């Protein structure tokens, strides 16, 4: 499942027509067209999945865990993202969806909204015990963490070092299931169900811990049909699942699938919620120039409207959002976690990062300062010479990026069809 | 390597153009990153150039930030045609501001601009002529320090 460059995004050379849609959509200029096919430059890609949304030929997908991979585990546990509850019609209750997951082949299903509530409470405790720096940035979205490491390295220290709900849930299961079930830890497979391609990367290449507590991630795209079929076949079971609600859901936690969900629980703090990858970059730019210092918590989610807009979801995000909001209002703001439990876990560092998030040197023009300056000068001259049409015909997303590639010896001036004409 | 081989770029700024506020300092910040300057220097350059950009937008008719980078230092020369500063010492005081209530409502004009620039710079020079404009020379020493 691990791709050589450490990314989840995969382009099918068979399906790719070499058009420029993904390349121009990429917020980090990580895609080039070479030999008529789109390719990903490993060190620039942050696995946000924008390219998946924009490809008109379905040539881009993500390398997530497949159903077959599950057979490696004797005991299979699913931790579905709360986004899953918004994928089916209003009449389908979360408890039925969890029931159906068991039908699909999981031995145990762990509900995540309570852990989302725990996560929010831990974030509040962290904010209250750390007056500096501001704004603190929530770390639930793995793409935001990768983006900050590479593009906004000085903001690494603003990231709240609390593990996201999916990892905390898996950690709880790892600590308890072997004992309860009396089976070897290696026989237990804990799988996240997600609308997000980056989760797979955060599992295979974790940044805040040595090893992820999760064994894999299945996309909602892949598991939607099996669940849908199971829901159809198990109408009677559905009644039972309603009569025996085995799980407690948290209204507060449920809302974290949506932009603003993390900040909703914080009543006494100044918060800002941003969604969408380009808007996130815009706001992080402002933070780096010293703005938003009066904000306690900045929540950034790179998918539009939050995780509910993840590229591997099935239902359109507007419907899914409406369903989740309905669940949130049905469940109310009653908290389900015990505050003394939260305190204990927080102080035991059960919820904290193992390792701090470290900046990743983001491709300077050259390692030698003098040569970097010369390259920047040459790039400025090139940008003036290039036509500025940003057509993408050269295989780079825009003229500035082509100029940048040229001074890095990754492309030639002759790649530009307009420059050829001029000669 | 001498001055003649420095990286230079001029960034014009229009007074009153709040819609574009932050664009120039963001570009300067990204250049500093691409040239491999350390996070600390990038941060200081970003904050000081933002304050300089905002001062032109808030108070001047027009102005420009002239960036020059050598392996040893980053220098930003800020020139504007604007009202100038009557009492530099007073203007450099933290919290002193001539911002209008409207600017303050927008969250600007906390009176930290000049002092913030000075705080983040290694060398800070200011010259001004009332009724004509202001010139700032902000220098950050990088000592060849790399990220």
Q: What's the CATH number where B137 sits? A: 3.30.565.10
Instruction: Please say whether the beta carbons of A374 and A398 come within 8 A.
Output: no
**Which residue is closest to A286 within chain B, CA to CA?**
B22
Buried/exposed A265-283: b ≥16 CB within 10 Å, e otherwise: bbeeeebbbbbbbeebbeb
Bond from prior residue into A290 cis (ω within 30 degrees of 0): no
Domain count, chain B: 1
Contacts of B28 in chain A (CB under 8 A): none
Instruction: Read off φ and ψ for residue A95, nearest 5 degrees.
Output: -65, -35
- The tokens of A186 are what? 């290696």
Q: What is the pLDDT of residue B100?
A: 80
Interface check B147 vs A, CB under 8 A: yes
- Listed in order, the ranges of chain A carrying CATH 3.30.70.20 are 1-62
Interface check A186 vs B, CB under 8 A: no
pLDDT level of residue A352 (50, 70, 90 thresholds)? very high
Q: What is the pLDDT of residue A242?
A: 66
User: Based on C-alpha coordinates, what's the Rg of chain B?
Assistant: 15
DSSP helix/strand/coil, A325? helix
Q: Give chain A's mean pLDDT.
A: 92
Q: What is the pLDDT of residue A4?
A: 44
Buried/exposed A212-247: b ≥16 CB within 10 Å, e otherwise: bbbbbbbbbbbbbebbbebbeebeebbeebeeeeee
* CATH architecture of structural domain A368-423: Orthogonal Bundle (1.10)
The torsion region of residue A128 among left (phi > 0), alpha (psi -120 to 50) and beta comes to: alpha
Q: What is the pLDDT of residue A356?
A: 93
Q: Which domain holds residue B16?
A: 3-141
- Rounded to whole angstroms, the Cα distance separating A162 from A120 reads 10
Q: What is the pLDDT of residue A368?
A: 92
Predicted-assembly ipTM surpassing the 0.90 threshold:
no
Answer whether residue B24 is part of any domain: yes
Instruction: Please say whether the beta carbons of A328 and A213 come within 8 A.
Output: no
Buried/exposed A43-78: b ≥16 CB within 10 Å, e otherwise: ebbbbbbbbbbbbeeebbbbbbbeeeebeebebbbb
Answer whether residue B146 is part of any domain: no
Q: What is the pLDDT of residues A65-86, one digit of tens each?
A: 998 899 999 999 999 999 999 9
- Rounded to whole angstroms, the Cα distance separating A301 from A48 reads 10
Q: What is the pLDDT of residue A134?
A: 96
Strand partners, A19: none
- Rounded to whole angstroms, the Cα distance separating A413 from A333 reads 59
- Rounded to whole angstroms, the Cα distance separating A31 from A41 reads 6
Q: What is the pLDDT of residue A2?
A: 43
Least confident of A214-223, A244-253, B48-57, B111-120: A244-253
Interface check B21 vs A, CB under 8 A: no
User: Model pTM?
Assistant: 0.93
- Sort B90 into a burial class: Cβ within 10 Å, 0-12 / 13-18 / 19+: exposed
| Dihedral of alpha carbons A45, A48, A50, A56, sign | positive
Answer whether residue B137 is part of any domain: yes
Between 3.40.50.300, 3.40.190.290, 3.20.20.70, 3.30.70.20, what CATH number should domain A1-62 receive?
3.30.70.20
3-state helix, strand, coil in chain A (%, to 5): 45, 10, 40
**pLDDT over 50 at A350, yes or no:** yes
CB contact under 8 A, A373 and B47: no
Candidates B5, B122, B141; CA nearest to B73 is: B141
How distant, in Å, are the alpha carbons of A247, A275, A302, A389, A416 from that of A220?
21, 20, 18, 38, 41
Buried/exposed A400-416: b ≥16 CB within 10 Å, e otherwise: bbbbbbbbeeebebebb
Instruction: Read off φ and ψ for residue B105, nearest 5 degrees.
Output: -60, -35
| A87-93: Cβ within 8 A, 24+ apart | A87/A220, A87/A224, A87/A313, A87/A314, A87/A315, A87/A320, A88/A227, A88/A228, A88/A231, A88/A315, A90/A323, A90/A326, A92/A231, A93/A241, A93/A242
| Dihedral of alpha carbons A321, A324, A328, A329, sign | positive
CB contact under 8 A, B22 and A286: yes
Q: What is the pLDDT of residues A137-194, one digit of tens each?
A: 999 999 999 999 999 999 999 999 999 999 999 999 999 999 999 999 999 999 999 9
Contacts of A281 in chain B (CB under 8 A): none
CB contact under 8 A, A291 and B33: no
- Rounded to whole angstroms, the Cα distance separating B92 from A368 reads 37
- Give Dmax (Cα) for chain A: 78
Contacts of A365 in chain B (CB under 8 A): 34-36
Strand partners, A137: A159, A298
Look-up: residue for tokens 């762990």? Answer: A110
**pLDDT over 50 at A3, yes or no:** no
Candidates A122, A337, A52, A103; CA nearest to A234 is: A103
Least confident of A122-136, A277-291, A336-350: A336-350
- Listed in order, the ranges of chain A carrying CATH 1.10.15 are 368-423
Q: What is the pLDDT of residues A249-299, one digit of tens each?
A: 999 999 999 999 999 888 899 999 999 999 999 999 999 999 999 999 999
- The tokens of A126 are what? 């962290």
| Shortest Cα–Cα distance, B46 to chain A (Å) | 5
User: Based on C-alpha coordinates, what's the Rg of chain A?
Assistant: 23
**pLDDT over 70 at A318, yes or no:** yes
Candidates A348, A16, A327, A351; CA nearest to A208 is: A351
Q: What is the pLDDT of residues B21-70, one digit of tens each?
A: 999 999 999 999 999 999 999 999 999 999 999 999 999 999 999 999 99
- Rounded to whole angstroms, the Cα distance separating A354 from A210 reads 8
Q: What is the mean pLDDT of residues B91-97?
A: 83
Q: What is the pLDDT of residue B145?
A: 54
Instruction: Please say whether the beta carbons of B39 and B64 come within 8 A.
Output: no
| Dihedral of alpha carbons A295, A296, A301, A304, sign | negative
DSSP helix/strand/coil, A190? strand
pLDDT level of residue B89 (50, 70, 90 thresholds)? confident
More confident position, A67 or A22: A22
Domain A67-126+163-264+307-347 indexed as CATH 1.10.3470: no
Facing B35 at nearest CB: one of A154, A288, A372: A372
Scanning A350-369 for CB atoms below 8 A from B yields: 359, 361-367, 369
Q: Following DSSP, what letter does each residue of A350-394 receive, concatenated?
A: TTB-SSPPPP-----S-SSHHHHHHHHHHHHHHHHHS------TT
Which residues 6+ apart lie within 8 Å of B112 measured at CB?
A: B51, B94, B95
CB contact under 8 A, B142 and A291: no
Answer whether residue B147 is part of any domain: no
Look-up: residue for tokens 């899953």? Answer: A84
More confident position, B105 or A293: A293
- Rounded to whole angstroms, the Cα distance separating A199 from A143 reads 9
Other beta carbons within 10 Å of B63: 25
Q: pLDDT over 90 for what percent of chain A?
A: 82
Q: What is the pLDDT of residue A421?
A: 63
Answer whether residue B87 is part of any domain: yes
Q: pLDDT over 70 for what percent of chain A?
A: 95
């Amino acid at each position: 499942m691990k791709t050589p460059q450490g990314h989840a995004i995969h382009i099918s050379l068979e399906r790719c027509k070499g058009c420029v849609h993904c390349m121009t959509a990429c917020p980090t200029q990580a895609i080039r067209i070479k030999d008529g096919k789109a390719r990903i430059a490993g060190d620039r890609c942050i696995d946000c999945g924008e390219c998946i949304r924009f490809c008109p030929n379905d040539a881009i997908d993500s390398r997530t865990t497949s159903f077959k991979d599950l057979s490696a585990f004797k005991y299979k546990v699913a931790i579905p993202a709360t986004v899953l509850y918004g994928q089916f019609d209003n009449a389908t209750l979360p408890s039925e969806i969890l029931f159906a997951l068991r039908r699909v082949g999981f031995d145990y299903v762990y509900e995540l909204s309570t852990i989302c509530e725990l996560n929010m409470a831990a974030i509040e405790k962290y904010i209250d015990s750390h007056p500096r720096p501001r704004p603190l940035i929530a770390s639930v979205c793995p793409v935001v963490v990768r983006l900050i490491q590479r593009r906004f390295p000085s903001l690494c220290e603003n990231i709240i070092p609390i593990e996201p709900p999916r990892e905390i849930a898996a950690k709880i299961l790892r600590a308890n299931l072997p004992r309860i079930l009396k089976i070897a830890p290696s026989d237990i497979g804990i799988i996240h169900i997600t609308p997000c391609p980056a989760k797979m990367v955060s599992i295979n290449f974790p940044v805040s811990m040595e090893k992820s507590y999760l064994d894999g991630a299945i996309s909602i795209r892949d598991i939607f049909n099996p669940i849908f079929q199971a829901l159809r076949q198990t109408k009677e079971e559905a009644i039972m699942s309603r009569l025996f609600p085995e799980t407690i859901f948290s209204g507060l936690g449920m809302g974290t699938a949506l932009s603003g969900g993390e900040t909703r629980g914080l009543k006494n703090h100044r918060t800002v919620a941003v969604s969408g990858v380009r808007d996130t970059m815009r706001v992080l730019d402002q933070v780096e120039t010293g703005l938003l210092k009066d904000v306690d918590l900045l929540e950034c989610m790179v998918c539009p409207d939050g995780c509910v807009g993840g590229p591997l979801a099935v239902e359109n995000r507007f419907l899914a959002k409406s369903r989740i909001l309905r669940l949130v209002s049905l469940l109310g703001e009653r908290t389900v976690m015990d505050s003394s439990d939260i305190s204990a876990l927080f102080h035991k560092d059960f919820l904290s990062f193992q390792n701090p998030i470290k900046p990743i040197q983001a491709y300077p023009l050259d390692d030698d300062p003098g040569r970097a300056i010369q390259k920047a000068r040459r790039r400025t001259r090139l940008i003036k010479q290039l036509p500025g049409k940003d057509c993408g015909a050269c295989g780079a997303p825009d003229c500035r990026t082509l100029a940048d590639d040229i001074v890095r010896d990754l492309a030639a001036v002759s790649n530009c069809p307009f420059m050829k004409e001029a000669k | 390597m001498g001055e003649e081989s420095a990286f230079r770029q001029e960034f014009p700024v229009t007074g009153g153009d709040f819609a574009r506020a932050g664009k120039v300092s963001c570009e300067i910040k990204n250049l500093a990153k691409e040239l491999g300057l350390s996070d600390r220097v990038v941060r200081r350059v970003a904050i000081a150039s933002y304050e300089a950009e905002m001062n032109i937008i808030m108070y001047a008719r027009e102005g420009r930030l002239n960036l020059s980078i050598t392996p040893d230092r980053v220098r930003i020369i800020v020139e504007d045609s604007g009202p100038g500063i009557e009492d530099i010492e007073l203007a450099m005081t933290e919290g002193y501001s001539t911002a209008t209530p409207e600017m303050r409502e927008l969250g600007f004009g906390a009176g930290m601009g000049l002092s913030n620039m000075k705080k983040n710079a290694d060398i800070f020079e200011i010259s001004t002529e009332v009724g004509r404009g202001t010139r700032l020379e902000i220098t950050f020493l990088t000592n060849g320090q790399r990220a």
